[in-house]
Amino acid sequence: MLFLLSSNFGEIMTMFAAIACDIAAPLKASHILWINLITDSLPRWRWGWTKTTWTI
């Protein structure tokens, strides 16, 4: 979970830094979608197949 938060936080900070320095956006929408697809889908897929034990 910490990995997912850190990778998304890095994307946000990169975009904010570019805006603050008044330069062109370093990441296009397709780049952000690709990064999210690669970094977020495999851990989420694994969490979906994890066996849970329900204790109530």
Give residue 2's pLDDT.
63
Q: DSSP secondary structure string, the chain?
A: -HHHHHHHHHHHHHHHHHHHTT---SS-HHHHHHHHHHHHHHHHHHHHH-------
Write out pLDDT tens, residues 23-52.
988 888 888 888 878 877 776 676 666 676
Sign of CA dihedral 42, 43, 45, 51: positive
Give residue 20's pLDDT.
93
Give residue 26's pLDDT.
85
0.85 surpassed by pTM: no
